[in-house]
Amino acid sequence: MQEAAAIEPKPGVPPSAGYLSELKARLAAHPARFIIRAAYQDPKAASWLAKEANIPVVELPYSVGGSDKATDLFALFDETVDRLVGGLK
From the number of C-beta atoms within 10 Å of its C-beta (0-12, 13-18, 19+), residue 1 rates as exposed
Mean pLDDT of the chain: 90
Cβ-Cβ contacts under 8 Å for 50 (sequence gap 6 or more): 35, 56, 57
Q: What pTM does this model have?
A: 0.79
Q: With a cut of 50, which residues of the chain have pLDDT below it?
A: none
Task: Please tell me the CATH superfamily of domain 17-87, with its number.
Answer: Nitrogenase molybdenum iron protein domain (3.40.50.1980)
**Residue 54 has what pLDDT?**
93
From the number of C-beta atoms within 10 Å of its C-beta (0-12, 13-18, 19+), residue 23 rates as buried
Cα distances (Å, whole numbers) of residue 3 to 33, 67, 86: 10, 24, 18
